[in-house]
Amino acid sequence: MTAYLEVDHATIEFKTRKGIYRAVQNVSIEVEQGEFVSIIGHSGCGKSTVLNLIAGLVPASSGGALLGGREISGPSPERAVVFQNHSLLPWLTCFGNVYLAVEKVFSGHQSKTQMRERTDEALALVGLTHARDKRPNEISGGMKQRVGIARALAMEPKVLLMDEPFGALDALTRANLQDSLMEIQARLKSTVVMVTHDVDEAVLLSDRIVMMTNGPAATVGQILSVDLPRPRNRLQLAEDTRYIHHRAEVLRFLHSGHGAGAIAA
């Protein structure tokens, strides 16, 4: 039986001036519906490339990706992306940014009032009702990222793709947003694929962690199942032996030379 979301023996190459650069090679990942999967690895190992493949922003040179049994051939609102640098349009308000996405997905089968309500609900979900009419340059980095999440969730995507969503934030804001994300995901049962280089973030949030070897020709080195009960609490987990064990396992992978050379998948 095939998984809900499947990356199947994908190899992705880019044409550069020096010739063909093979970013990732023979990557296979399976994600079940409602599962939270993180992809972790060193910088430049092609984690984002894999995410962009699922998003449909980058084509595979061989192999490919499937969602619900259908091949992914291009970007689509059913696979919403939360970008690392939030990518909000600076000339629209928070409401306007989310509404742009809502309008795209629901216009035709919902009235304007319904779409406005939907937008307001998405902003409420991330706790930003008060910043509804502010422009992105008037709010903090953490709030911008919340708007980015609200924009993605408002589209009711089949898969939520997050590309180092909290990478540019300070530690406290990051923790706050991680907690929010866990609550939202628990409530909406969203299927999430997140790229990160933060070990704690990966263990805290994920059901499974996909560890990638270093590029070029990066591939999946190891997959770790995180069997910690939900809801998870970061303070309790800090002393949980299983948490510490999982964390150590990821760290060992990243620092043990596994990450250094490509290994056969």
Instruction: Note the residues at the interface with other proteins (CB under 8 A).
Output: 34, 55, 57, 75-77, 79-81, 83, 85, 87, 89-92, 100-101, 104, 118, 121-122, 124-127, 129, 135, 137, 153-160, 176, 180, 183-184, 187-191
**Of 28 and 76, CB closest to other proteins:** 76
User: What is the rounded end-to-end Cα distance, in angstroms, of the chain?
Assistant: 20
Strands 36-40 and 79-82: unpaired
Burial track 2-27 (b if 16+ CB lie within 10 A, e otherwise): ebbbbbbebbbbeeeeeeeebbbbbb
**Of 190 and 214, CB closest to other proteins:** 190
Nearest distance from C-beta of residue 76 to other proteins, angstroms: 6
Picking from 59, 64, 61, 43, the residue whose alpha carbon sits closest to that of residue 214 is 43
**Cβ atoms 197, 164 nearer than 8 A:** yes
Rounded Cα distance between 209 and 194, Å, is 10
**Of 15 and 189, CB closest to other proteins:** 189
**Of 57 and 228, CB closest to other proteins:** 57
**Cβ atoms 148, 86 nearer than 8 A:** yes
Nearest distance from C-beta of residue 148 to other proteins, angstroms: 10
Position 45: which residue type? Answer: C
Nearest distance from C-beta of residue 3 to other proteins, angstroms: 15
**Of 139 and 262, CB closest to other proteins:** 139
**Of 106 and 243, CB closest to other proteins:** 106
Strands 159-163 and 19-31: unpaired
Nearest distance from C-beta of residue 45 to other proteins, angstroms: 21
Rounded Cα distance between 83 and 228, Å, is 27
Rounded Cα distance between 9 and 85, Å, is 29
Nearest distance from C-beta of residue 101 to other proteins, angstroms: 6
Nearest distance from C-beta of residue 221 to other proteins, angstroms: 28
